[in-house]
Amino acid sequence: MSYTLEGRTGPWEIVVGLEVHAQVTSNAKLFSGAATAFGAAPNTQVSFIDAGFPGMLPVINRECVAQAVRTGLGLKAQINLWSRFDRKNYFYADLPQGYQISQYAHPIVGEGAIEIELADGSTKTVGITRLHLEQDAGKSLHDQHPTKSYIDLNRSGVALMEIVSEPDMRSPEEAGAYLTKLRQILRYLGTCDGNMDEGSMRADVNVSVRKAGEGYRTRCEVKNVNSIRFVMQAVEAEARRQIEIWEEGGTVEQETRLFDTARGVTRSMRSKEDAHDYRYFPDPDLPPLVLEQNWVDQLKASLPELPDERRARYVAMGLSPYDAHVLTLEKETAAYFETVAKGRDAKIAANWVMGDLFAAINRTRTSIAEPPVKAEYLGVLLDLMKDGTLSGKLAKEVFEAMVETGRSPGAIVEERGLRQVTDTGAIERIVAQVLEANADKVAEYKSGKEKLFGFFVGQTMKAMQGKGNPALVNEAVKKLLG
Protein backbone atom coordinates (compact mmCIF):
# COMPACT_ATOMS: atom_id res chain seq x y z
CA MET A 1 0.00 0.00 0.00
CA SER A 2 1.67 3.21 -1.10
CA TYR A 3 1.45 6.51 0.77
CA THR A 4 -1.09 9.10 -0.42
CA LEU A 5 -2.64 12.31 0.89
CA GLU A 6 -6.40 12.59 0.77
CA GLY A 7 -7.91 15.65 -0.95
CA ARG A 8 -11.49 16.56 -1.88
CA THR A 9 -11.00 14.83 -5.22
CA GLY A 10 -9.49 11.66 -3.76
CA PRO A 11 -5.94 10.45 -3.10
CA TRP A 12 -2.81 12.30 -4.26
CA GLU A 13 0.69 10.93 -4.62
CA ILE A 14 3.70 13.00 -3.42
CA VAL A 15 6.89 13.21 -5.49
CA VAL A 16 10.05 14.28 -3.64
CA GLY A 17 13.63 14.87 -4.77
CA LEU A 18 16.35 16.25 -2.49
CA GLU A 19 19.39 18.41 -3.10
CA VAL A 20 21.68 18.16 -0.11
CA HIS A 21 24.54 20.55 0.55
CA ALA A 22 27.07 18.67 2.65
CA GLN A 23 30.12 20.46 4.02
CA VAL A 24 33.31 18.58 3.19
CA THR A 25 35.34 17.56 6.22
CA SER A 26 38.74 19.15 5.55
CA ASN A 27 41.13 21.46 7.38
CA ALA A 28 41.22 24.06 4.60
CA LYS A 29 38.78 25.56 2.11
CA LEU A 30 38.15 24.41 -1.47
CA PHE A 31 40.41 26.98 -3.16
CA SER A 32 42.32 28.61 -0.27
CA GLY A 33 44.36 27.62 2.76
CA ALA A 34 42.05 29.33 5.27
CA ALA A 35 40.77 27.18 8.15
CA THR A 36 37.24 25.75 8.35
CA ALA A 37 36.69 25.13 12.08
CA PHE A 38 33.11 25.65 13.28
CA GLY A 39 32.43 28.37 15.83
CA ALA A 40 35.50 30.58 15.27
CA ALA A 41 35.16 34.35 15.87
CA PRO A 42 33.67 36.12 12.79
CA ASN A 43 36.05 36.87 9.90
CA THR A 44 39.05 35.14 11.46
CA GLN A 45 39.24 32.38 8.83
CA VAL A 46 39.28 34.41 5.64
CA SER A 47 41.98 34.53 2.98
CA PHE A 48 42.19 37.15 0.22
CA ILE A 49 40.59 34.61 -2.14
CA ASP A 50 37.61 34.06 0.19
CA ALA A 51 37.16 37.84 0.49
CA GLY A 52 37.05 38.18 -3.31
CA PHE A 53 40.09 40.45 -3.59
CA PRO A 54 40.94 41.29 -7.20
CA GLY A 55 43.76 39.38 -8.83
CA MET A 56 43.70 36.43 -6.43
CA LEU A 57 43.89 33.00 -8.06
CA PRO A 58 42.12 29.89 -6.71
CA VAL A 59 44.16 26.70 -6.20
CA ILE A 60 42.22 23.46 -5.72
CA ASN A 61 42.55 21.59 -2.42
CA ARG A 62 43.49 17.99 -3.21
CA GLU A 63 41.92 16.63 -0.01
CA CYS A 64 38.52 18.15 -0.87
CA VAL A 65 38.65 16.40 -4.24
CA ALA A 66 39.57 13.11 -2.54
CA GLN A 67 36.61 13.53 -0.14
CA ALA A 68 34.22 14.05 -3.07
CA VAL A 69 35.57 10.93 -4.80
CA ARG A 70 35.27 8.88 -1.58
CA THR A 71 31.68 10.04 -1.23
CA GLY A 72 30.94 9.15 -4.86
CA LEU A 73 32.39 5.67 -4.30
CA GLY A 74 30.31 5.29 -1.13
CA LEU A 75 27.21 6.18 -3.14
CA LYS A 76 28.14 3.48 -5.70
CA ALA A 77 28.33 6.26 -8.27
CA GLN A 78 30.16 6.94 -11.48
CA ILE A 79 33.43 8.87 -10.87
CA ASN A 80 34.11 11.30 -13.72
CA LEU A 81 37.84 11.45 -14.38
CA TRP A 82 37.30 14.72 -16.26
CA SER A 83 35.26 17.46 -14.64
CA ARG A 84 35.21 21.23 -14.80
CA PHE A 85 34.51 24.25 -12.61
CA ASP A 86 32.07 26.94 -13.72
CA ARG A 87 31.16 30.34 -12.39
CA LYS A 88 27.60 30.72 -11.19
CA ASN A 89 27.00 34.47 -11.24
CA TYR A 90 24.73 36.25 -8.81
CA PHE A 91 24.89 39.25 -6.55
CA TYR A 92 24.57 39.00 -2.83
CA ALA A 93 26.24 40.86 0.04
CA ASP A 94 27.74 37.66 1.47
CA LEU A 95 29.24 36.65 -1.90
CA PRO A 96 32.18 39.04 -2.37
CA GLN A 97 33.43 37.41 -5.61
CA GLY A 98 30.09 38.10 -7.31
CA TYR A 99 29.99 34.47 -8.36
CA GLN A 100 30.18 31.02 -6.83
CA ILE A 101 32.69 28.54 -8.24
CA SER A 102 30.63 25.40 -8.83
CA GLN A 103 30.36 22.52 -11.31
CA TYR A 104 27.52 22.73 -13.79
CA ALA A 105 27.72 20.69 -16.99
CA HIS A 106 30.55 18.39 -15.85
CA PRO A 107 30.28 17.29 -12.20
CA ILE A 108 32.96 15.15 -10.55
CA VAL A 109 30.46 12.39 -9.67
CA GLY A 110 27.63 11.05 -11.84
CA GLU A 111 24.81 8.58 -11.24
CA GLY A 112 24.65 6.38 -8.14
CA ALA A 113 22.14 4.93 -5.68
CA ILE A 114 21.25 4.74 -1.99
CA GLU A 115 19.24 1.94 -0.40
CA ILE A 116 16.92 3.32 2.29
CA GLU A 117 15.30 1.37 5.14
CA LEU A 118 11.68 2.02 6.08
CA ALA A 119 9.84 1.49 9.36
CA ASP A 120 7.94 -1.57 8.09
CA GLY A 121 11.27 -3.32 7.44
CA SER A 122 11.15 -2.86 3.67
CA THR A 123 13.90 -1.22 1.64
CA LYS A 124 13.85 1.00 -1.44
CA THR A 125 16.49 2.26 -3.82
CA VAL A 126 16.71 6.03 -4.42
CA GLY A 127 18.72 7.16 -7.43
CA ILE A 128 21.54 9.71 -7.13
CA THR A 129 21.66 12.05 -10.12
CA ARG A 130 25.03 13.67 -9.43
CA LEU A 131 27.42 15.10 -6.88
CA HIS A 132 29.38 18.26 -7.57
CA LEU A 133 31.88 20.37 -5.66
CA GLU A 134 31.26 24.06 -5.02
CA GLN A 135 32.12 26.92 -2.68
CA ASP A 136 29.91 27.96 0.20
CA ALA A 137 28.98 31.65 0.57
CA GLY A 138 29.51 33.84 3.65
CA LYS A 139 26.81 34.60 6.14
CA SER A 140 24.79 37.80 6.68
CA LEU A 141 23.92 38.59 10.30
CA HIS A 142 20.79 40.71 10.56
CA ASP A 143 20.24 40.48 14.32
CA GLN A 144 23.43 42.11 15.67
CA HIS A 145 22.50 45.78 15.23
CA PRO A 146 19.16 47.67 14.88
CA THR A 147 19.99 49.31 11.56
CA LYS A 148 22.98 47.43 10.15
CA SER A 149 23.66 43.97 8.78
CA TYR A 150 27.02 42.35 9.41
CA ILE A 151 28.86 39.90 7.19
CA ASP A 152 30.87 36.90 8.43
CA LEU A 153 33.08 35.43 5.70
CA ASN A 154 34.38 32.44 7.69
CA ARG A 155 32.19 30.12 5.64
CA SER A 156 33.01 31.83 2.34
CA GLY A 157 34.90 29.38 0.14
CA VAL A 158 34.34 26.31 2.34
CA ALA A 159 33.98 23.17 0.18
CA LEU A 160 30.48 21.81 -0.26
CA MET A 161 29.30 18.67 -1.97
CA GLU A 162 25.92 19.21 -3.56
CA ILE A 163 24.30 15.77 -3.74
CA VAL A 164 21.23 15.64 -5.98
CA SER A 165 18.75 12.75 -5.85
CA GLU A 166 16.29 11.54 -8.45
CA PRO A 167 12.63 12.38 -7.68
CA ASP A 168 12.21 8.83 -6.34
CA MET A 169 10.74 9.46 -2.89
CA ARG A 170 6.97 9.21 -2.35
CA SER A 171 6.33 10.16 1.28
CA PRO A 172 7.69 12.26 4.15
CA GLU A 173 8.96 9.03 5.71
CA GLU A 174 10.98 8.14 2.60
CA ALA A 175 12.50 11.64 2.50
CA GLY A 176 13.47 11.27 6.17
CA ALA A 177 14.89 7.78 5.61
CA TYR A 178 16.93 9.04 2.66
CA LEU A 179 18.51 11.86 4.65
CA THR A 180 19.17 9.55 7.59
CA LYS A 181 20.92 7.06 5.33
CA LEU A 182 22.87 9.69 3.40
CA ARG A 183 24.11 11.22 6.66
CA GLN A 184 25.04 7.77 7.96
CA ILE A 185 27.09 7.03 4.82
CA LEU A 186 28.86 10.41 4.97
CA ARG A 187 29.71 9.86 8.65
CA TYR A 188 31.03 6.35 8.03
CA LEU A 189 33.16 7.72 5.20
CA GLY A 190 34.34 10.67 7.30
CA THR A 191 33.64 13.05 4.41
CA CYS A 192 31.05 15.24 6.20
CA ASP A 193 30.27 15.36 9.92
CA GLY A 194 26.51 15.52 9.17
CA ASN A 195 25.85 17.97 12.02
CA MET A 196 22.70 19.61 10.70
CA ASP A 197 22.35 21.98 13.65
CA GLU A 198 25.77 23.45 12.78
CA GLY A 199 24.71 23.80 9.15
CA SER A 200 27.07 21.14 7.78
CA MET A 201 24.16 19.46 6.03
CA ARG A 202 21.22 21.39 4.57
CA ALA A 203 18.52 20.15 2.25
CA ASP A 204 16.62 21.78 -0.60
CA VAL A 205 13.39 19.84 -0.89
CA ASN A 206 11.68 19.54 -4.29
CA VAL A 207 8.01 18.63 -3.97
CA SER A 208 5.20 18.06 -6.45
CA VAL A 209 1.93 16.11 -6.29
CA ARG A 210 0.04 14.06 -8.86
CA LYS A 211 -2.80 11.65 -9.38
CA ALA A 212 -1.91 7.95 -9.71
CA GLY A 213 -0.51 7.09 -13.12
CA GLU A 214 0.22 10.70 -14.16
CA GLY A 215 3.52 12.21 -15.28
CA TYR A 216 5.19 14.87 -13.12
CA ARG A 217 3.36 18.12 -12.39
CA THR A 218 5.11 21.43 -11.58
CA ARG A 219 7.37 21.25 -8.52
CA CYS A 220 8.38 23.81 -5.93
CA GLU A 221 11.67 23.93 -4.07
CA VAL A 222 11.74 24.47 -0.31
CA LYS A 223 15.18 25.93 0.45
CA ASN A 224 17.71 25.26 3.19
CA VAL A 225 15.83 22.99 5.57
CA ASN A 226 18.16 22.12 8.43
CA SER A 227 16.78 19.07 10.21
CA ILE A 228 15.39 15.71 9.16
CA ARG A 229 12.19 16.31 11.09
CA PHE A 230 11.67 19.69 9.38
CA VAL A 231 12.27 18.10 5.95
CA MET A 232 9.51 15.58 6.65
CA GLN A 233 7.18 18.33 7.87
CA ALA A 234 8.02 20.56 4.87
CA VAL A 235 7.22 17.76 2.40
CA GLU A 236 3.78 17.26 3.87
CA ALA A 237 2.98 20.98 4.29
CA GLU A 238 4.06 21.81 0.74
CA ALA A 239 2.17 18.85 -0.74
CA ARG A 240 -1.02 19.88 1.06
CA ARG A 241 -0.66 23.46 -0.22
CA GLN A 242 -0.28 22.25 -3.81
CA ILE A 243 -3.21 19.82 -3.56
CA GLU A 244 -5.44 22.68 -2.42
CA ILE A 245 -4.36 24.85 -5.38
CA TRP A 246 -4.98 22.09 -7.93
CA GLU A 247 -8.32 21.16 -6.40
CA GLU A 248 -9.50 24.77 -6.53
CA GLY A 249 -8.78 24.82 -10.26
CA GLY A 250 -5.54 26.80 -9.93
CA THR A 251 -2.04 26.10 -11.22
CA VAL A 252 1.08 25.55 -9.08
CA GLU A 253 3.79 28.00 -10.15
CA GLN A 254 7.40 26.87 -10.04
CA GLU A 255 9.10 28.87 -7.29
CA THR A 256 11.51 28.80 -4.39
CA ARG A 257 9.89 28.69 -0.96
CA LEU A 258 10.92 28.71 2.69
CA PHE A 259 9.65 26.46 5.47
CA ASP A 260 8.32 28.40 8.45
CA THR A 261 9.16 25.99 11.27
CA ALA A 262 7.07 27.85 13.85
CA ARG A 263 3.87 27.78 11.79
CA GLY A 264 4.54 24.54 9.89
CA VAL A 265 3.83 26.06 6.47
CA THR A 266 5.91 27.03 3.44
CA ARG A 267 5.90 30.59 2.09
CA SER A 268 7.09 32.11 -1.15
CA MET A 269 10.68 33.40 -1.29
CA ARG A 270 11.21 34.18 -4.97
CA SER A 271 10.11 32.93 -8.37
CA LYS A 272 12.35 30.08 -9.45
CA GLU A 273 15.34 31.15 -11.49
CA ASP A 274 16.54 29.04 -14.41
CA ALA A 275 20.12 28.06 -15.11
CA HIS A 276 20.49 30.78 -17.76
CA ASP A 277 19.79 33.44 -15.12
CA TYR A 278 23.15 32.56 -13.57
CA ARG A 279 25.10 32.86 -16.84
CA TYR A 280 27.24 29.83 -16.07
CA PHE A 281 30.56 29.74 -17.89
CA PRO A 282 33.81 27.79 -17.37
CA ASP A 283 35.99 29.48 -14.73
CA PRO A 284 38.98 30.83 -16.71
CA ASP A 285 41.16 30.72 -13.56
CA LEU A 286 40.88 26.94 -13.25
CA PRO A 287 41.91 24.23 -15.70
CA PRO A 288 39.66 21.16 -16.01
CA LEU A 289 40.02 18.75 -13.09
CA VAL A 290 41.59 15.54 -14.39
CA LEU A 291 41.88 12.49 -12.12
CA GLU A 292 43.99 9.40 -12.64
CA GLN A 293 42.15 6.08 -12.47
CA ASN A 294 45.00 4.77 -10.39
CA TRP A 295 44.40 7.42 -7.71
CA VAL A 296 40.65 6.70 -7.69
CA ASP A 297 41.42 2.98 -7.29
CA GLN A 298 43.66 3.72 -4.30
CA LEU A 299 40.90 5.75 -2.66
CA LYS A 300 38.46 2.92 -3.32
CA ALA A 301 40.79 0.33 -1.79
CA SER A 302 41.09 2.42 1.38
CA LEU A 303 37.36 3.04 1.93
CA PRO A 304 36.08 1.98 5.35
CA GLU A 305 33.33 -0.63 5.69
CA LEU A 306 29.98 1.05 4.89
CA PRO A 307 26.68 0.65 6.78
CA ASP A 308 25.05 -1.81 4.31
CA GLU A 309 28.06 -4.14 4.35
CA ARG A 310 28.41 -3.90 8.10
CA ARG A 311 24.73 -4.69 8.60
CA ALA A 312 25.02 -7.75 6.37
CA ARG A 313 28.06 -8.91 8.34
CA TYR A 314 26.17 -8.58 11.64
CA VAL A 315 23.28 -10.63 10.26
CA ALA A 316 25.81 -13.27 9.23
CA MET A 317 27.08 -13.23 12.87
CA GLY A 318 23.58 -14.29 13.94
CA LEU A 319 21.89 -10.97 14.74
CA SER A 320 18.35 -10.16 13.59
CA PRO A 321 18.08 -7.62 10.75
CA TYR A 322 16.53 -5.17 13.22
CA ASP A 323 19.38 -5.49 15.75
CA ALA A 324 21.93 -5.17 12.93
CA HIS A 325 20.14 -2.03 11.73
CA VAL A 326 20.11 -0.38 15.16
CA LEU A 327 23.73 -1.25 15.96
CA THR A 328 25.02 0.19 12.66
CA LEU A 329 23.06 3.48 12.71
CA GLU A 330 26.01 5.29 14.29
CA LYS A 331 29.50 4.08 13.64
CA GLU A 332 30.43 4.69 17.30
CA THR A 333 27.69 2.23 18.35
CA ALA A 334 29.00 -0.35 15.90
CA ALA A 335 32.54 0.08 17.21
CA TYR A 336 31.33 -0.34 20.81
CA PHE A 337 29.35 -3.46 19.94
CA GLU A 338 32.30 -5.01 18.12
CA THR A 339 34.57 -4.54 21.13
CA VAL A 340 32.01 -6.25 23.38
CA ALA A 341 31.25 -9.04 20.89
CA LYS A 342 34.84 -9.85 20.01
CA GLY A 343 35.42 -13.53 20.83
CA ARG A 344 32.01 -13.71 22.56
CA ASP A 345 28.39 -14.53 21.73
CA ALA A 346 27.18 -11.79 19.33
CA LYS A 347 23.52 -12.09 20.27
CA ILE A 348 24.20 -11.76 24.01
CA ALA A 349 26.50 -8.80 23.35
CA ALA A 350 23.82 -7.12 21.19
CA ASN A 351 21.18 -7.60 23.91
CA TRP A 352 23.36 -5.94 26.54
CA VAL A 353 24.31 -3.03 24.28
CA MET A 354 20.77 -2.36 23.05
CA GLY A 355 19.16 -3.03 26.43
CA ASP A 356 21.16 -2.16 29.54
CA LEU A 357 23.74 0.10 27.91
CA PHE A 358 21.26 2.20 25.88
CA ALA A 359 19.06 2.55 28.99
CA ALA A 360 22.08 3.68 31.05
CA ILE A 361 23.04 6.21 28.36
CA ASN A 362 19.52 7.65 28.44
CA ARG A 363 19.41 7.75 32.20
CA THR A 364 22.82 9.37 32.63
CA ARG A 365 22.38 11.68 29.60
CA THR A 366 25.67 10.52 28.14
CA SER A 367 26.39 9.22 24.63
CA ILE A 368 27.87 6.18 22.96
CA ALA A 369 30.96 8.28 22.20
CA GLU A 370 31.44 8.80 25.97
CA PRO A 371 29.65 5.75 27.36
CA PRO A 372 28.84 5.27 31.06
CA VAL A 373 30.47 1.80 30.91
CA LYS A 374 33.58 1.02 28.88
CA ALA A 375 33.07 -1.54 26.11
CA GLU A 376 36.02 -3.60 27.46
CA TYR A 377 34.37 -3.77 30.89
CA LEU A 378 31.03 -4.90 29.47
CA GLY A 379 32.92 -7.65 27.61
CA VAL A 380 34.54 -8.81 30.88
CA LEU A 381 31.10 -8.81 32.53
CA LEU A 382 29.86 -11.23 29.86
CA ASP A 383 32.87 -13.46 30.54
CA LEU A 384 32.03 -13.52 34.26
CA MET A 385 28.52 -14.70 33.42
CA LYS A 386 29.81 -17.31 31.04
CA ASP A 387 32.26 -18.84 33.53
CA GLY A 388 29.55 -18.98 36.21
CA THR A 389 31.01 -16.32 38.52
CA LEU A 390 27.88 -14.18 38.08
CA SER A 391 24.24 -15.11 37.55
CA GLY A 392 22.17 -12.94 35.18
CA LYS A 393 20.69 -11.14 38.17
CA LEU A 394 24.06 -10.45 39.80
CA ALA A 395 25.43 -9.29 36.45
CA LYS A 396 22.72 -6.62 36.28
CA GLU A 397 23.71 -5.50 39.76
CA VAL A 398 27.39 -5.33 38.81
CA PHE A 399 26.48 -3.43 35.64
CA GLU A 400 24.61 -0.79 37.65
CA ALA A 401 27.59 -0.48 39.99
CA MET A 402 29.82 -0.02 36.93
CA VAL A 403 27.57 2.83 35.75
CA GLU A 404 27.79 4.44 39.20
CA THR A 405 31.49 4.03 39.86
CA GLY A 406 33.14 3.54 36.46
CA ARG A 407 35.14 0.66 38.00
CA SER A 408 35.89 -2.70 36.43
CA PRO A 409 33.51 -5.64 36.96
CA GLY A 410 36.29 -7.68 38.61
CA ALA A 411 36.90 -4.96 41.21
CA ILE A 412 33.16 -4.64 41.95
CA VAL A 413 32.67 -8.41 42.34
CA GLU A 414 35.53 -8.57 44.86
CA GLU A 415 34.56 -5.43 46.80
CA ARG A 416 30.93 -6.33 47.21
CA GLY A 417 31.37 -10.10 47.49
CA LEU A 418 28.94 -10.67 44.63
CA ARG A 419 30.42 -13.94 43.46
CA GLN A 420 27.73 -16.49 42.63
CA VAL A 421 27.54 -19.56 44.88
CA THR A 422 27.87 -22.79 42.88
CA ASP A 423 28.78 -25.09 45.76
CA THR A 424 25.87 -27.60 45.74
CA GLY A 425 26.55 -28.70 49.32
CA ALA A 426 26.27 -25.10 50.58
CA ILE A 427 23.10 -24.53 48.56
CA GLU A 428 21.45 -27.71 49.85
CA ARG A 429 22.17 -26.74 53.46
CA ILE A 430 20.29 -23.46 52.97
CA VAL A 431 17.39 -25.17 51.14
CA ALA A 432 17.08 -27.57 54.07
CA GLN A 433 16.86 -24.63 56.51
CA VAL A 434 14.18 -22.97 54.36
CA LEU A 435 12.08 -26.15 54.21
CA GLU A 436 12.42 -26.68 57.96
CA ALA A 437 11.29 -23.10 58.73
CA ASN A 438 8.27 -23.53 56.43
CA ALA A 439 7.04 -26.99 57.39
CA ASP A 440 3.37 -25.97 56.93
CA LYS A 441 4.00 -24.91 53.33
CA VAL A 442 5.94 -28.09 52.63
CA ALA A 443 2.88 -30.05 53.74
CA GLU A 444 0.66 -27.96 51.44
CA TYR A 445 3.05 -28.56 48.58
CA LYS A 446 3.00 -32.28 49.17
CA SER A 447 -0.80 -32.32 49.18
CA GLY A 448 -0.79 -30.88 45.64
CA LYS A 449 -0.18 -27.12 45.86
CA GLU A 450 2.70 -27.29 43.36
CA LYS A 451 3.01 -23.63 42.66
CA LEU A 452 4.64 -23.25 46.10
CA PHE A 453 7.81 -24.55 44.44
CA GLY A 454 8.63 -20.99 43.36
CA PHE A 455 8.20 -19.79 46.94
CA PHE A 456 10.91 -22.19 48.21
CA VAL A 457 13.28 -21.12 45.44
CA GLY A 458 12.60 -17.46 46.23
CA GLN A 459 13.19 -17.95 49.98
CA THR A 460 16.46 -19.75 49.28
CA MET A 461 17.67 -17.00 46.94
CA LYS A 462 16.70 -14.41 49.55
CA ALA A 463 18.62 -16.26 52.24
CA MET A 464 21.63 -16.34 49.90
CA GLN A 465 21.29 -12.60 49.11
CA GLY A 466 20.69 -13.40 45.45
CA LYS A 467 24.04 -15.11 45.04
CA GLY A 468 22.83 -18.68 44.50
CA ASN A 469 23.25 -20.11 41.03
CA PRO A 470 19.58 -20.21 39.90
CA ALA A 471 19.79 -23.57 38.11
CA LEU A 472 21.52 -25.22 41.05
CA VAL A 473 19.05 -23.74 43.57
CA ASN A 474 16.15 -25.13 41.52
CA GLU A 475 17.76 -28.56 41.43
CA ALA A 476 18.42 -28.54 45.16
CA VAL A 477 14.82 -27.54 46.02
CA LYS A 478 13.49 -30.28 43.74
CA LYS A 479 15.81 -32.84 45.28
CA LEU A 480 15.03 -32.01 48.93
CA LEU A 481 11.27 -31.80 48.38
CA GLY A 482 11.28 -35.09 46.50
Give the C-alpha separation, 189 to 18, whole Å: 20
Please identify the residue of the shown chain whose CB is closest to the bound Mn ion.
162
Give the C-alpha separation, 247 to 267, whole Å: 19
The interface mask with Mn ion, positions 14-53, x = CB under 5 A, is ----------------------------------------
Q: Which is nearer to Mn ion, 128 or 427 (CB)?
A: 128
> Any contact of residue 383 with Mn ion (CB under 5 A)?
no
Q: At its nearest, how many Å lie between Mn ion and the CB of residue 21?
A: 6
Q: At its nearest, how many Å lie between Mn ion and the CB of residue 102?
A: 6
Q: Which is nearer to Mn ion, 100 or 208 (CB)?
A: 100
Q: Which is nearer to Mn ion, 94 or 400 (CB)?
A: 94
Q: Which is nearer to Mn ion, 99 or 399 (CB)?
A: 99
Q: At its nearest, how many Å lie between Mn ion and the CB of residue 100?
A: 8
Spell out the SS3 assignment of the chain. Answer: CCCCEEECCEEEEEEEEEEEEEECCCCECCCCCCECCCCCCCCCCCCCCCCCCCCCCCCCCHHHHHHHHHHHHHCCCCECCEECCEEEECCCCCCCCCEEEECCCCCCECCEEEEEECCCCCEEEEEEEEEEEEECCCEEECCCCCCCCEEECCCCCCEEEEEEECCCECCHHHHHHHHHHHHHHHHHHCCCCCCHHHCCEEEEEEEEEECCCCCCCCCEEEEEECCHHHHHHHHHHHHHHHHHHHHCCCCCCCEEEEEECCCCEEEEEEECCCHHHHCCEECCCCCCEECCHHHHHHHHHCCCCCHHHHHHHHHHCCCCHHHHHHHHCCHHHHHHHHHHHCCCCHHHHHHHHHHHHHHHHHHHCCECCECCCCHHHHHHHHHHHHCCCCCHHHHHHHHHHHHHHCCCHHHHHHHHCCCCECCHHHHHHHHHHHHHHCHHHHHHHHCCCHHHHHHHHHHHHHHCCCCECHHHHHHHHHHHHC
Q: At its nearest, how many Å lie between Mn ion and the CB of residue 282?
A: 17
Q: At its nearest, how many Å lie between Mn ion and the CB of residue 116?
A: 23
Q: At its nearest, how many Å lie between Mn ion and the CB of residue 152?
A: 19
On whether the CB atoms of residues 350 and 321 are closer than 8 A, the answer is: no
Q: Which is nearer to Mn ion, 162 or 285 (CB)?
A: 162
Q: At its nearest, how many Å lie between Mn ion and the CB of residue 39?
A: 23
Q: Which is nearer to Mn ion, 112 or 307 (CB)?
A: 112
Site for Mn ion in 143-162 (CB under 5 A): 162
Site for Mn ion in 49-78 (CB under 5 A): none
Site for Mn ion in 158-187 (CB under 5 A): 162
Q: At its nearest, how many Å lie between Mn ion and the CB of residue 162?
A: 4
Q: Which is nearer to Mn ion, 134 or 323 (CB)?
A: 134
On whether the CB atoms of residues 186 and 39 are closer than 8 A, the answer is: no
The number of residues that bind Mn ion (CB under 5 A) is 1
Q: Which is nearer to Mn ion, 162 or 444 (CB)?
A: 162
Residue 204's DSSP bridge partners are 19
Q: Which is nearer to Mn ion, 132 or 187 (CB)?
A: 132
In whole angstroms, how large is the CA radius of gyration of the chain? 31
Q: At its nearest, how many Å lie between Mn ion and the CB of residue 231?
A: 17
Q: Which is nearer to Mn ion, 128 or 346 (CB)?
A: 128
Q: At its nearest, how many Å lie between Mn ion and the CB of residue 273?
A: 13
Q: Which is nearer to Mn ion, 162 or 255 (CB)?
A: 162
Q: At its nearest, how many Å lie between Mn ion and the CB of residue 319?
A: 39
Residues that bind Mn ion (CB under 5 A): 162
